Structure 1
Amino acid sequence: MAFMFRWLLRIATGLFVLFVAAVTLIWYFASRSLPDYEGNFAVAGISAPVEIVRDNAAVPHIFGETDADTFYALGYVHAQDRLWQMTMLRRTAQGRLSELFGQRTVSIDNLLRRLDLYNLAVSSVQAQDAQTMDALNAYAAGVNAWLAEINSGARGRGAPEMWVFNHAIAPWQPADSLAVLKLMALQLSGQADYEVLRARTSLMLPNARLSDILPDDPSSGVAALPEYSAMVGDLPQPTSGTRVYDDPLSPLKSHELSGASNAWAAGLTRSAAGSTLLANDPHLGLTAPTIWYLTRLQLETGDVIGATIPGLPVVLSGRSADVGWGVTTAYVDDQDIHLEQINPDNANQYRTPDGWADFRSRDSIIRIKGAPAITLRLRWTENGPVLPGDVFDVGSVTPPGHVAALSWTALSDRDTSVSAAMAMMRARTVEGAIDAAEDYLAPAQNLTLADRTDVAMKTIGMIPRRDPMHISRGRLPAYGYLPENRWQGRMPYADNPEFVAPEGGILGNTNNKTVDRPFPNHVSYRWGDTQRINRWRRLMQSRQVHTRDSFIEAQLDTVSFTARALLPLIGADLWFTGEAAADGTPERRRQIALTLLANWNGEMNEHLPEPLIYAAWLRALQTRLIQDDLGPLATEFTHVDPVFVERVFRDVDGASAWCDVIQSAPVETCTDMARLALDDALQWIDDSFGTNLETLRWGDVHQATHDHPTLGGVPVLQWFVNIRQSTSGGDNTLMRGRTAGEGANPFRNVHAAGYRGVYDFADPDSSVFVTATGQSGHFLSRYYDNLGELWRRGEYIPMSLDPALARGAALGVMTLVPQQNDD
């Protein structure tokens, strides 16, 4: 026995030593890629030394003698901190993910190759102005200088992910930066997805009910559209399509997660300190690290500070000493699906208004790790690229003998959006920024601006010009060979919505409708918000004047207007009715839930049980309302639409018909459905948590899920690379935390403000900003998540252009010096 014990002890000791050695070795190789934030680095391509001061939050303050040197250093620090993220953005745009990830990403590469975003970016390089080209070239040289340092300095392949997905890194090119912006346009687009969903739904519902489940903004009416089946004839049976956006590596998001943001500004008459204020928090899918990277740039036209995206040398939301700017998704209807008829006698031709024409086509090879390469036949029509039938399940709404092509403003080979963004960043006045944005194409944004005296908002980006006789008004797929369905160029930039120096002194946008104009000058039929705007209006009008702190308070507001408006409506016949039920019965549990909600003020606070009860009830209610009418298609409606629920319970145009279950003999009322849905919700809560309702916490289910896109699903590693945070807010609060809408936990927070900034021009150096994770993309770095807890608590860091403040608490000063020639 002693002999056996000794050997078991030796084996256990040996295994432990091997484990420790393996972990130490892994840590050593991974840590080699941690960048240095101090020291001198000799590099080729700069004219004079460039100082990079990283303040105590690891935000780089870059001081270069020329703009080219400053952008060079920006490329250098982006690559230092976010090399893996940059290479993934480039690979995604190129449609080359499968070289690393195998069969998993073939559908993503298939779509990106067909859209041809990267080649369009390459062609667009020649369209940039000289100043922008200088910046793009300098930025690329800076990225490549860090790549050279990786190779010469044994810096662990540049990122720990490279040890898992080892592949050569090509030098950065100016086109790569243009492709990053096109990729962001794809992530923020959702009109094509929504068109197809509308077509699929219209095949199952009469027009009156279609207006319920896919409602227009209630502030205006829209004429009825033709029934889709009558417009296009016989169609395949709708099915559940391939969801390209399910993979975290996909840039294509569901229309319900296609973009959201907040921005507002106050002019002189509404600012307590005598100058202007601006707040901005753009919302994107949460990742680790966040897509945003904070920086300060010293430029010849004046210093700027704010949020950049690694790979793109532009401050997209930020300020200079004179102007602040913020962006929100404009929801411009900038995509159309065109149904192209194929020549029955020649499959290489499609129908145009002038007869049959050849598809523009070429082959493209996708190389797949661990599998044979596949060859795609890419086809384009005059309206745009032909889409695979499984994207958005567009094949189910495409008539036999036809294919679907996508028209989209981002599919330009003369895309000057980066040049326009660069000019906006250098503008010195509100008017100058608006003028600079004229050449901006995509993604369409509402640009909110403030200088020291004025505030303004302008919709920037190309708005397609449509024929007034367009058969579907761009709301449904339409035949591409009919002239009236084709785009007729671009609307004049002057016609884009514009608001300068508003009379009330305050303007803002929460992705809500900005203008009420008839088609074809309508901008869009689909807007991103009908709810948050109501809370914002109340907060703005509750004060005569505003301060930086009141803008922060609004940015962090978690009161749900939706909860306050809908709960009295759906629970009108349930509250305070009946005798008190016995403890432990379903009736008693329902009464407890109703009592909690009756005393709740609608605040989606992470520490309260009421937000979870409310959210589960509304989710169960919508499911009961639509599942019998829509069948399998009901799974596409993953989020509660408050306008739909209100229409049903107010019986707008007969919408209460949704409350009756078609397959049942009785006629159910909306009160019946509300009661049954509450029981469903409480049963789900009991199955999931098995605890008293009073002890529930919204934050336990509404956790912000900052997942690493590539390593986030790897066992063990996921505990190091993923970030989880209990958060307040919800789908319809100003501090928006959009829920997943599906899965085992449909209430996890997956889409929120990855960046927040508040700019005060009465005292610009008191401006503040923060991101959702940290500056570094290296999970072993203490700056990987150093800003995350501040973000969760609603705190900020200084956004100052004062060099002394940056140097005063700097964690490192790095200098790039020109490399000396040996001769």
Structure 2
Amino acid sequence: MVRSLTRLGRMLRSASLPVLFAFPALADSSVEIIRDNWGVPHVYADDVFGLYAGFGYSVAQDRLFQMEMARRSVLGQVSEVLGAEQLPFDIETRAMFDHASIRRQIEALSPDERDILRGYAAGYNRWLEQVLTKPDALLPKQFKEFGFDPAPWTEFDVAMIYVGTMAGRFSGYSSELGNAKTLAALEAQLGPDQAATIFDQILWNEDPLAPTTVPDGEQYQQKAAVDLPRPGQFAGLLDAGKLPGDDERPRASNLWIAGPEKTTDGSTILINGPQFGNFNPAYVFSIGLHGAGFDLTGNTPFAVPNVLFGTNGAIAWGATAGPRDVNDYYRLELNPENPQQYRKGDGWAEMRARPETFRIKGQPDVTTTVWESSYGTVGQIDAKDGTAYAFKRSWDGKEISTLMAWVNSTKAQSYAEWLGQAEKVATTINWYYADRDGNIGYVSPGDVPQRAKGHDTRLPAQPGKDDWLGIRPFSDAPKVYNPEQGWIANWNNRSGKGDSSDFEGTPWGSADRAVEIFSRLDAKEKLTPEEVWNINREISFLDINARYFVPVILAAAENLDPKSPRAELVEILRNWDGQQIRAEDGRATSPAVGLFQTWLDIMVQDVLIDDGAAIPAAIQYNRISRPAQLLNNALLAEKSGVPQTHDFFNGVDAAGRNEIILAALDKAAEKLTKQFGSTTPADWRIEIKQHVFETQNYLGIPQAGAAETLSLGTAMNRGTENNRVTFRNGKVEFCAVTPPGQSGFIDPDGKASPHYRDQLQLYQDFDCRVQALSRDDVEAAAVSRETISIAR
């Protein structure tokens, strides 16, 4: 391998030339890197190139193998090192983004903004050069295990890490194909009329009772009229396969901000739990950037050059996944004489062919074709049926300007400056704000299309009829500043009420986990800082559905004979705190956990699924409260925010509903008795999962050796990491926990960095570590320092 690394060194120097010398020769950048006792680097430089070179250099020191696998994952180059079995993944990945478009966007950047990408790549390559000189000490052992060598990076690679791991992952989704398949299945089973009725109840446009991050009355938009689809319109999708962009977005990030009027000591506290998944090495990386107009400390997904969560002393910022509808599928009619043409107006338009070539380990190269249309990338081409589906993104061509707006927002000194950068963001994202003067704010930016009247955003659009009319103005974006309630919170719930076309077609309902945060913030007039922080612990183990249905069970059992078998089951739930905790034997500490979950499964089956076998496709969904939303609406009946035109209880009266509820409890007991071989409820303790840190990245590609999987305690419904920014008496404190640790480095002999897993206990204990901002505080925490010179 040393010989191959020597050759790689020559490749690196050659590959770096276009990056390092694309601009007139300038003086080398001097960079100082100080690391604290948790291994967190603070980078100091006088110019943007040097600052971001230090950034790239630092991440490479800690995450070289993870970075290499992330780069290959987003570029569709995994099969080159892992073999042909990864080719389908690479083909799908490459179809999502036209690399030529990304390169054109990079070339259009200002010199300073381009230096962010160029510098980052140069810093990465500088560390790689050092690795090549001492591979026996510095080359991460995973490269030997997987049998390939690291490659140099370019500014394009840096940009694509953001494009693939952030823009594509959190904005490149749509539920329209899944919704259409659900409607088609319902039509096939129930007929078009009843199918349309049930479809509207399980995939509604808007529930006015749904909790929103923008408080009621502080921003509101009138609902647009929506035409129902014609019967049978989407029957052809029943057997359609998955397409890129179909709905797989993460949904677990949370955030809450308590303003000075809400805290007992007048502090302003921003707490963010972004959820990217749980991985080893960690998905996020901690960093301090100081110089060239930047002065910040924070955390960010590893390898991206924008710091998503942090503070610059004047303001603090955070983020969760955005909910706005920035994509549409279009159902294309193909020319029966030429399936590479699609209907446009009264004629046919040619698809554009984009060839993509893939290198495969041990095999010849493979070339495929990606087809493009004016409605986006084309997939699911069915020449026999004469149809295809195109995926149109409003943010296409704006990925890099969005990245730069995010970078520049970290220099803002006020809400107005910060909001000015949000206006440049084309992807959908939720942004949050707090400052040293006690102001708090929120905005949900993104380029939402101005859609034609009657466009049903739940389903694939029709070319011509549903063509976009432009982009909605930023003034329409949900936003709030210093709300009267004194706090802002979100748990991937809806941003605000209003026009259904403004939001991705996933129903938000009155049963929503966000209520758990809202209710705690509203429980007292003022909260101590400890109470604000402890919300995280209180909600991480909750069965989110318990809030809505345990009271339903208790109400149904109000007149029960206290000596009846049912009464014993009811008491188990009455005495339960809703927590799902794992005991040392791996099972729940309370039988109520399994009893309630089994009851809910039976209720969903008996009340919802019995009305149509296609309904499970709509409710078996990774949003925690989705089945609860539907069942809750059915139980609310006329009080529901979603009109219950179809009666899932099949006409029974209140007494009949109570019997269904209690009968489900009987069935749950029978099922658990059989499962555990015991009629004693104390024995019904179901297994609870551990909190596992996987060694594959979120795309399923290895980023560490399989033996590096880590786990701890009870699985937690919380952020991948947690940040707490506190403004108190004009000063700021940033405290974070980023498990398993700052570094993923394991040397060739198998020795791990001391910061490889040193934050696991902090995470399990709901604690955090202070991360310095000022130079004095950085120096006070300093453990090591390094000064490097990087050629431009």
Corresponding position of 2:784: 813
Contact 2:378/2:389 (<8 A) preserved? yes
Contact 1:292/1:307 (<8 A) preserved? yes
Residue among 276, 279, 282 paired with 1:284: 276
1:319 aligns with 2:311: yes
Question: Quick one: distance in 2 between partners of 1:172 and 1:164?
Answer: 22
Question: Quick one: distance in 2 between partners of 1:690 and 1:243?
Answer: 46
TM-superposed CA distance for 1:633, in Å, is 6.7
* SS of corresponding position for 1:448: strand
**CA offsets 1:312-353 (integer angstroms, 9 cap, x no match):** 222111111111001122210111110111111222211112
Residue among 415, 421, 434 paired with 1:430: 415
Counting only pairs closer than 5 Å after superposition, residues 108-127 of structure 1 correspond to structure 2 as 108-116=89-97, 118-127=99-108
* SS of corresponding position for 2:236: coil
TM-superposed CA distance for 1:210, in Å, is 1.8
Q: Which deviates more from structure 2 when the two are superposed, residues 319-328 or residues 116-125? A: 116-125
Question: Quick one: distance in 2 between partners of 1:388 and 1:756?
Answer: 40
Contact 2:206/2:500 (<8 A) preserved? no
Counting only pairs closer than 5 Å after superposition, residues 178-257 of structure 1 correspond to structure 2 as 178-183=159-164, 184-189=166-171, 191-192=173-174, 194-205=175-186, 206-219=195-208, 228=229, 230=231, 232=233, 235=236, 237-238=238-239, 241=241, 255=248, 257=249
Corresponding position of 2:129: 148
Residue among 695, 705, 711 paired with 1:708: 695
* SS of corresponding position for 1:404: strand
Corresponding position of 1:455: 440
Corresponding position of 1:343: 335
Contact 1:536/1:554 (<8 A) preserved? yes
- The answer for unaligned runs of 5 or more in structure 2 is 6-19, 187-194, 211-222, 584-588, 747-751
Given residue 403 of structure 1, which amino acid in structure 2 is its aligned partner? A
Contact 2:323/2:428 (<8 A) preserved? no
**CA offsets 1:339-379 (integer angstroms, 9 cap, x no match):** 11111122221111252111011222233445565432211
Counting only pairs closer than 5 Å after superposition, residues 679-694 of structure 1 correspond to structure 2 as 679-680=667-668, 683=671, 687=675, 693-694=681-682
Question: Quick one: distance in 2 between partners of 1:296 and 1:66?
Answer: 15
Corresponding position of 1:549: 530
Question: Quick one: distance in 2 between partners of 1:144 and 1:349?
Answer: 45
Corresponding position of 1:330: 322
Contact 2:581/2:688 (<8 A) preserved? no
Question: Quick one: distance in 1 between partners of 2:699 and 2:137?
Answer: 21
Question: Quick one: distance in 2 between partners of 1:673 and 1:656?
Answer: 19
Counting only pairs closer than 5 Å after superposition, residues 666-681 of structure 1 correspond to structure 2 as 671-672=659-660, 675-676=663-664, 679-680=667-668
Corresponding position of 2:14: none
* SS of corresponding position for 1:269: coil
**CA offsets 1:611-669 (integer angstroms, 9 cap, x no match):** 343234323432454444453772561455211111233345557844569xxxxx996
TM-superposed CA distance for 1:512, in Å, is 2.1
Corresponding position of 2:157: 176
* SS of corresponding position for 2:492: coil
Question: Quick one: distance in 2 between partners of 1:82 and 1:688?
Answer: 45
Count how many residue pairs are aligned between Structure 1 and Structure 2: 723
Q: Which deviates more from structure 2 when the two are superposed, residues 625-634 or residues 78-87? A: 625-634
* SS of corresponding position for 1:72: helix
TM-score, reference length from structure 2: 0.82
Corresponding position of 2:112: 131
Residue among 594, 598, 609 paired with 2:574: 598
1:761 aligns with 2:761: no
TM-superposed CA distance for 1:294, in Å, is 1.0
Q: Which deviates more from structure 2 when the two are superposed, residues 496-505 or residues 799-808? A: 799-808
Residue among 621, 629, 634 paired with 1:648: 634
Question: Quick one: distance in 1 between partners of 2:139 and 2:558?
Answer: 61
Pair 465,209 (structure 1): closer, same or farther in 2 beyond 3 Å: same
**CA offsets 1:442-500 (integer angstroms, 9 cap, x no match):** 24333334342421111122222212242x2x2101222x2x31223321222212212
Corresponding position of 1:577: 560
Computed over aligned residues only, the root mean square deviation of the Cα atoms, in angstroms, reads 3.8
TM-superposed CA distance for 1:268, in Å, is 3.7
Question: Quick one: distance in 1 between partners of 2:275 and 2:671?
Answer: 33
Pair 425,686 (structure 1): closer, same or farther in 2 beyond 3 Å: farther
Contact 1:214/1:644 (<8 A) preserved? no
Corresponding position of 1:55: 36
Contact 2:117/2:155 (<8 A) preserved? yes
Question: Quick one: distance in 1 between partners of 2:552 and 2:182?
Answer: 26
Contact 2:29/2:49 (<8 A) preserved? no
Question: Quick one: distance in 1 between partners of 2:334 and 2:776?
Answer: 67
1:770 aligns with 2:749: no
Given residue 343 of structure 1, which amino acid in structure 2 is its aligned partner? N
Question: Quick one: distance in 2 between partners of 1:655 and 1:492?
Answer: 35
Question: Quick one: distance in 1 between partners of 2:699 and 2:308?
Answer: 27
Corresponding position of 1:363: 355
Contact 2:325/2:503 (<8 A) preserved? yes
TM-score, reference length from structure 1: 0.79
Pair 70,167 (structure 1): closer, same or farther in 2 beyond 3 Å: same
Corresponding position of 1:166: 147
Corresponding position of 1:308: 300
Corresponding position of 2:12: none
**CA offsets 1:795-815 (integer angstroms, 9 cap, x no match):** 1111331444444454x4131
Residue among 600, 617, 621 paired with 1:618: 600
Given residue 344 of structure 1, which amino acid in structure 2 is its aligned partner? P
Contact 1:343/1:351 (<8 A) preserved? yes
Pair 803,611 (structure 1): closer, same or farther in 2 beyond 3 Å: farther
**CA offsets 1:239-275 (integer angstroms, 9 cap, x no match):** 6x4598xxxxxxx7853x5334222323343344445
Contact 1:232/1:399 (<8 A) preserved? no
Pair 789,722 (structure 1): closer, same or farther in 2 beyond 3 Å: same
Given residue 266 of structure 1, which amino acid in structure 2 is its aligned partner? A
Corresponding position of 1:34: none
Question: Quick one: distance in 2 between partners of 1:119 and 1:685?
Answer: 61
Question: Quick one: distance in 1 between partners of 2:246 and 2:27?
Answer: 40
Contact 1:326/1:449 (<8 A) preserved? no
The structure, 1 or 2, with the larger RCO (C-alpha pairs under 8 Å, 6+ apart) is 2
Question: Quick one: distance in 1 between partners of 2:656 and 2:260?
Answer: 55
TM-superposed CA distance for 1:385, in Å, is 0.2
- The answer for unaligned runs of 5 or more in structure 1 is 1-24, 30-42, 245-251, 390-394, 582-587, 662-666, 730-736, 738-751
Q: Which deviates more from structure 2 when the two are superposed, residues 150-159 or residues 354-363? A: 150-159
Given residue 753 of structure 2, which amino acid in structure 1 is its aligned partner? S
TM-superposed CA distance for 1:202, in Å, is 1.3
Contact 1:201/1:630 (<8 A) preserved? no
Contact 1:157/1:163 (<8 A) preserved? no
* SS of corresponding position for 1:556: helix
Contact 2:185/2:238 (<8 A) preserved? no
Question: Quick one: distance in 1 between partners of 2:547 and 2:235?
Answer: 45
Counting only pairs closer than 5 Å after superposition, residues 466-615 of structure 1 correspond to structure 2 as 466-470=451-455, 472=456, 474-480=457-463, 482=464, 484-520=465-501, 522-526=502-506, 530-558=511-539, 559=542, 562-570=545-553, 572-573=555-556, 577=560, 580=563, 592-606=568-582, 608-609=589-590, 610-615=592-597
Question: Quick one: distance in 2 between partners of 1:46 and 1:62?
Answer: 19
Question: Quick one: distance in 1 between partners of 2:409 and 2:669?
Answer: 49
* SS of corresponding position for 2:470: coil
Contact 2:207/2:508 (<8 A) preserved? no
TM-superposed CA distance for 1:600, in Å, is 1.6
Counting only pairs closer than 5 Å after superposition, residues 369-448 of structure 1 correspond to structure 2 as 369=361, 373-388=365-380, 400-412=385-397, 415-448=400-433
